[in-house]
Amino acid sequence: MQIRTREFVPRATFALHDPNLQRALANAAGGFIGKRAKAVAEVPEFEALREAARVRKDEILAELDLWLERYEERVRAVGGQVHWARDAEEARAIIRALCARAGAKTVAKGKSMVSEEIGLNEALATDGLEVIETDLGEYIVQLAKEPPSHIIAPAVHKTKEQVAELFAEHHGTTPEPTVPGLVTEAREQLRCQFFRTDVGITGANFLIAETGASVIVTNEGNGDLTQTLARVHIVTAGIEKVVPTLEDATLFLRLLARSATGQDSETYTTYSMGPRRADDPDGPQEYHVVLVDNGRSRMLGGPWREMLRCIRCGACMNHCPVYGAIGGHAYGWVYPGPMGSVLTPLFVGLDTAYDLPNACTLNGRCGEVCPVKIPLPDLIREVRHAQQRDGLHPPAEQRAKALWRRAAERPALYHGLERLAVRLLATLGQNGRIRRLPGLSAWTDARDLPAPAGRTFLELWHAKGRDQ
Amino acid sequence: MPLPPDRAGTVGLFATCLMNAMRPNIGFAAAQLLEDAGWRVEVPREQTCCGQPAYNGGDEDAARALARRTIAQFEAFDALVAPSGSCLATLKHDYPRLLRDDPLWAGRAQALADKSWELLTFLHERGGAERIRSRFPHRVVYHDSCSGLRQLGIREAPRALLARVEGLTLIEAEDREVCCGFGGTFSVKYPALSERLAENKVQRLLATRAEVVLGGDLGCLLHLAGRLARICAPVRVYHTVEVLAGLADGPGIGQA
Amino acid sequence: MSASAPLDPALAARRRDTVLGAIRRNLGRDTAPPAPEAPLPPAHPRLAVPDEDLVQRWRERWDARGGTSALVPTKEAAVEHLVAWCREHDLPAPSHAARPLLELPWPADWHLDPGPAGIDTQSAVSLAFAGIAEVGNLAFLSGPASPVTHLFVPDNHFILLEAAAIVRHFEDLWQRLRHHLAPAGGDWRERLPRTLNFVAGPSRTGDVEQTIQLGAHGPRRVHVVIFTD
């Protein structure tokens, strides 16, 4: 997927003024937040589950190699194959080779953020394969030649009228722009695709070491049709997805649906273990898992390890006021919102994704709703620190920060400057406010600056001889 | 009135940068409330900034230097109190984290964190609320600032204290836990985003038809008052402590 | 790079070693940690399911998500109920069924195929392995007698569920599964089916304007008949 994180500011600015996007975002936000709140309120154990999930995931990550080896052993035992990919290019190469070996012409895909991360669709298309996204939201953005704008609701930025236009253009039909009409239209179009697909590619919400299972969670059933009707089932998963036991998967699943969509359970949860057995009437003949590192092992070592707890529920972006104002595309890569503001710079570069962690008010609502208690605001701040160490903040800002620090460490100077500034600002004030302030137009373009009275608190207080 | 022994002590009033420069009235209101509650109040001359702008802006080193200064300035007091949830969150959460690997300072950072208080929480939990004698016959809406709300759990204290103000009617806005879009340097680094979030928040506040907006952090209040003034909204903005101390009789923030 | 290169065993082994090596290096170790002795399943927090009557609880949860259910005394009564249900709702007779159900007294004009569902399959009958009261969903094990396609291809899906097969929590199901796969001991993991499917109601999507619509790709209607005997 093309990296457009450098265009964050212009894309965000346009997003703020795109009426269709704004309408779609307004529709979505209330729904996600309200449904989650209701689902959480129904479960008094929710906080205990979050804490247990945090602790358990940290334990697993500390022994990640062990659980991955166990997992691989069990996949082999049930007749599947595990392929390890160090980076995106290797992951693509492995999957392309598997498709080529299978003589595949068509590939159906269930929703997988890792496949977006490794740019799989473009690579398969280069090989002349017909690739069809089967999750309705993914299908819509595929037709629109756009990336997903949300990790669980890829087409959340589209209105039903826009979807109807896309279907009309690509299917040559004239579907009614109603939700039932559009869903039926997509169902009919995709049904044929499922039955003619050679390779089915899905992601994995979890990998279970004790059974060699890959777990997917869907509401539509597309992932199941994808993997059941294809000859070859390929799973793409980040190495952090492994959990030791079925009981562990249950712990995380109790949190996932409630956090993501506010459901107590998604409609379908499927544990896949190897290819079809000798006397099975259906199911794929081959089963492959591509374990993708792509920078994850490096994250284990630094301050970013906690980010690997992420179970990709999307709650952080649903509760982020910035995401709510601009949607996912402005973030310019696969992972938007708060989790993306930490992950994207680590994947594509602290420089390339400079704006993402900075365009955040650190209001903390993301961390508050995270089902695995990732301290997202702390990690976002940590990315800013890493950017500071690399000298990536704008030169003017760095100079200003250095000067400010020098003053703040010298009380006489600091207070002198404050007194000066306050007097100056007071003279600029009219009716208690300053309407335009050259040099601070970023503030005064949208708001007045309340004018100070002309004396600082410290000088007034000490002038009264209150202490010392 | 005699004071209970656990309240006889000296409080160091932390004069936040914004309050010090932009709204001294808040500092005097804070001091008055603390004195009414039986504390001796001192304002150390050598204090400057808590370091939050540096910490949030990526400069941990500067934040550490300012943290050490603040600790040295205030550790002798029985308590540090400030009329700001945001600065206090830095003192209570970030100082121990910033200095955890510094054997000389880790303990001192934690010790100061343990006795640092946001003013309203301090009055609510340590006593003094019952001494509030204030009248403010207006419909007000209270804006929860995010740092205080999420890092310090400031939710009940301001509401409980405002309930003691004679004539005051508190109205709750929708989406009251949503950020106003100030975010410190965010407000000037990403002005278009900040403006949109401010506008969203202002719409919610205005929908309550309140005459007055109150809050506990001057950053958010300058941002909201500035936006309200720009759109010519006939609404006044004060810091909560100004109302509690009976010092909200002058112009609101951004008014004359 | 040739197409077969990624499947080259030497290259694959090198990649594996690099990834595992990088994990260990970043965790500050040279080797894998000591393997824990066959650990007991961890005891994580559960959701309180105080209900005495698990069937009732299960049905409330199931019906709340757009599924339908009925409670009948016997398997034979379940058959009668399904025949009446299809007639009453003007639904086509099922064309496919799980093999163990074929012996039930279906009407003579119902021709039930135990094979996989095809693109034209409108309706199928399945037998659930278990129900989980905690969320009100169903578990299915794939196998020669229970095609996975029956769960996802038809428009109408009918499911028979034995009341005694409803467990309280997922943890209870895992225990049951382990015992079911290896009743006489031995390694249950050797007998795992290709898939373990959980179904919680009709297929649904919220991908167009976050408005829930049933029947996205899988069944639009899912009707469960619980038999007690």
Summarised one tens digit per residue, pLDDT across range B211-239 is 999 999 999 999 999 999 999 999 999 99
Segments of chain A with pLDDT less than 50 = 468
Query: Is the CB of A97 inside 8 Å of chain C's CB atoms?
Result: yes
Cα distances (angstroms) measured from residue A267 to each of A110, A243, B105 = 15, 22, 53
Asked whether residue A456 falls in the same domain as residue A377, the answer is: no
Residue A405 lies in a domain: no
CB contact under 8 A, A365 and B150: yes
Cα–Cα distance, C188 to A326 (Å, whole number): 50
- Asked if B186 and A360 come within 8 Å (Cβ–Cβ), the reply is yes
B164 and B121 housed in the same domain: no
**Same structural domain, B155 and B238:** yes
Q: Is the same domain home to B175 and B97?
A: no
Do residue B153 and residue B199 come from a single domain? yes
Give the C window 55-94 contacts with A, CB below 8 Å.
Answer: 61, 65
Q: What's phi and psi for C12, nearest 5 deg?
A: -60, -40
Write out pLDDT tens, residues A98-124. Answer: 999 999 999 999 999 999 999 999 999
pLDDT of residue C2: 39
C193 touches A at CB < 8 Å: yes
Look at residue A49 and tell me if it is in a domain: no
User: Which residue range forms the structural domain that includes residue B159?
Assistant: 134-244
Query: What residue in A sits closest to C2 (Cα-Cα)?
Result: A97
Last residue of a domain, one of A263, A298, A333: A298
ipTM at complex level: 0.96
Q: What is the pLDDT of residue A211?
A: 97
Q: Is C9 on the interface with A (CB under 8 A)?
A: no
For A342, C95, C221, the CA distances from C114, given in Å and listed in that order, are: 50, 9, 20
CA distance C24 to C39: 22
Token pair belonging to B183: 């975010």
Those residues of chain B that have pLDDT short of 50 are 1-2, 5
Q: How many other β-carbons are positioned within 10 Å of the β-carbon of residue A228?
A: 29
Alpha-carbon gap, residue B147 to A364, rounded angstroms: 7
Chain C neighbors of A90, CB-CB under 8 A:
6, 15
Question: Given A160, A221, A300, which is nearest C152 (Cβ)?
Answer: A221
Instruction: Looking at the structure, tell me whether residues A8 and A141 fall in a common domain.
Output: no
C121-157 pLDDT, tens per residue?
999 999 999 999 999 999 999 999 999 999 999 999 9
| B57 and B81 in a common domain | yes
Please, what's the largest Cα pairwise distance for chain B? 54
Which chains does B contact via 3+ CB–CB distances below 8 A? A
Bridge partners of A287, per DSSP, are: A233
Give domain status of residue B250, yes or no: no
**Using one digit for the tens of pLDDT, what is the confidence trace for C49-106?**
998 999 999 999 999 999 999 999 999 999 999 999 999 999 999 999 999 999 999 9
Please tell me the distance from the alpha carbon of residue C169 to that of residue C133, in angstroms, as a whole number.
Answer: 7
Q: Are residues A349 and A385 in the same domain?
A: yes
Domain count, chain A: 3
Whether residue B251 is contained in a domain is answered as: no
- Across the interface, whether the CB atoms of A65 and C5 are under 8 A apart is answered no
Q: What gap in Å lies between CA B42 and CA B79, rounded to an integer?
A: 11
Q: Quickly state the pLDDT bin for C6 (edges 50, 70, 90).
A: low
Residues 117-146 of B with CB under 8 A from A: 146
Residues A458 and A318 in one domain: no
Mean pLDDT of C3-19: 82
pLDDT tens digits, residue range A177-194? 999 999 999 999 999 999
Residues A284 and A364 in one domain: no
Structural domain total, chain B: 2
pLDDT at B7: 57
Based on the fold, state whether residues A227 and A286 are members of the same structural domain. Answer: yes
User: Chain C closest CA to A4's CA: distance in Å?
Assistant: 25
For chain B, where are the alpha helices, taking DSSP H only? 17-22, 24-36, 52-56, 60-74, 85-89, 95-98, 106-114, 119-126, 146, 156-162, 186-189, 191-207, 218-230, 240-244
Q: Within 10 A of A397 (CB to CB), how many other CB atoms are there? A: 16
Question: What is the CATH classification number for the domain harbouring B189?
Answer: 3.40.50.11810
Contact yes or no for A96/C59 (Cβ under 8 A): no
Cα–Cα distance measured from residue A335 to residue A468, given in angstroms and rounded to the nearest whole number: 55
In chain A, which residues have their Cβ closer than 8 Å to the Cβ of B197?
A: 321-322, 325, 361
Residues B183, B105 share a domain: no
Sort out which chain B residues have CB atoms less than 8 A from A385's CB and list them.
58-60
Q: Which of C24, C48, C194 sits opposite A273 (nearest CB)?
A: C194
Asked if B35 reaches chain A (Cβ–Cβ under 8 Å), the answer is no
Q: What is the pLDDT of residue C4?
A: 39
Question: Is residue A163 domain-shared with residue A103, that is, in the same domain?
Answer: yes
Contacts of C177 in chain A (CB under 8 A): 246
Residues B119, B11 share a domain:
yes
- For residue B86, the one-letter residue type is S
- Do B191 and B121 lie in one domain? The reply is no
Mutation test of the interface with chain A: which of C204, C205, C220, choosing the one with the most A Cβ atoms within 10 A?
A: C205
Looking at 3.40.50.10420, 3.30.1330.90, 3.40.50.300, 3.40.710.10, the CATH number of the domain C54-227 comes to 3.40.50.10420
CB contact under 8 A, A52 and C45: yes
Q: Which amino acid is it at A97?
A: A
Mean pLDDT (chain C) is 94
Asked if the Cβ–Cβ distance from B54 to A447 is below 8 Å, we say: no
Q: Which residues of B touch A321 (CB under 8 A)?
A: 178-179, 181, 197, 200
The continuous run of DSSP H or E covering A25 comes out as: helix A19-41
Same domain, A362 and A459: no
pLDDT recorded at residue A204: 98
Taking residue B4's Cβ as centre, other Cβ atoms within 10 Å add up to 8
Nearest to B193 among A322, A387, A449 (CB): A322
Interface test with A, best of B32, B70, B71, B189 (most A CBs within 10 A): B189
A218 and A274 assigned to the same domain = yes
Bridge partners, residue C223, by sequence: C68, C158
B204 lies in a domain?
Answer: yes
Chain A from 429 to 468: CB within 8 A of any C CB: none
In a domain, A31, yes or no: yes
- List the single best residue of A362, A390, A436 to mutate versus B (max B Cβ within 10 A): A362
Whole domain around residue A421: which residue ranges?
A: 411-463
Taking a C-beta distance cutoff of 8 angstroms, is the pair A262, A38 a contact?
yes
Q: Out of A298, A327, A353, pick the residue that ends a domain.
A: A298
Among A137, A267, A291, beta carbon nearest to C200: A267
Tell whether A277 lies on the interface with C, counting CB pairs under 8 A.
Answer: yes
The answer to the question of residue B253 being in a domain is no
Contact with chain A for residue C26, Cβ under 8 A: yes
Strand order in the sheet with C96-97: C68-72, C221-227, C156-162, C123-127, C96-97
With contact defined as 3+ CB pairs under 8 Å, the chains touching A are B, C
Q: Shortest CB distance from A280 goes to which of C22, C194, C217?
A: C194
- Kindly state whether residues B165 and B79 are assigned to the same domain: no
Following DSSP, what letter does each residue of C62-131 receive, concatenated? HHHTT-EEEEESSHHHHHHHHHHHHHHTTPPPP-EE-GGGTTS---TT---B-S---TT--EEEEE-SEE
Residue C229 CA to residue C215 CA, distance in Å, equals 32
| Residues from chain C contacting residue A282 (CB–CB below 8 Å) | 116-117, 142, 147-149
Task: Kindly report the backbone phi and psi dihedral angles of residue A294, in degrees, each rounded to the nearest multiple of 5, phi listed first.
Answer: 50, 45
CA dist list (Å): C208 to A23, A155, C64:
13, 7, 22
Establish if B153 belongs to a structural domain. yes
Residues A329 and A367 in one domain: yes
> Residues A2, A109: one domain?
no
Contact C27 A182 (CB under 8 A): no
Residues A140 and A164 in one domain: yes
At A171, which CATH number?
A: 3.40.50.10420
pLDDT, one tens digit per residue, over A316-367 is 999 999 999 999 999 999 999 999 999 999 999 999 999 999 999 999 999 9
Contact C169, C44 (CB under 8 A): no
Whether chain C has a CB inside 8 Å of the CB on A194: the answer is yes
The answer to whether the CB atoms of A155 and C205 lie below 8 A apart is no
Q: Name the closest residue on chain C to residue A277, using Cα atoms.
A: C194
Q: Do A65 and C213 touch (CB under 8 A)?
A: no
Q: Is B103 helix (H, G, I), strand (E, B) or coil?
A: coil
| Intra-chain end-to-end CA distance of chain B, in Å | 37
Phi, psi (degrees; rounded to nearest 5) at A369? -100, -5
* Helix, coil or strand: residue B63: helix
Kindly give the pairing relationship between strand B212-215 and strand B139-143. parallel
Taking an 8 Å cut-off on Cβ atoms, the answer to whether A283 and C195 are in contact is yes
Instruction: Tell me if B12 sits within 8 A of B225, measured CB to CB.
Output: no
CB neighbours of residue A132 within 10 Å: 20
Chain B residue at shortest CA distance from A455: B21
Residue type, A333: W
pLDDT of residue A467: 60
Provide the H-helix boundaries in A307-433. 315-318, 321-326, 337-348, 355-358, 365-369, 376-389, 395-408, 411-428
Say how far apart CA A303 and CA A292 lie, in whole Å: 21
Sheet with B79-82, side-by-side order of all strands: B40-42, B10-13, B79-82, B116-118
Q: Is residue A84 part of a domain?
A: yes
Which pLDDT belongs to residue C31?
86
Tell me the chain A residues in contact with residue C24 when contact means C-beta distances shorter than 8 Å: 65
| pLDDT value at residue C3 | 38
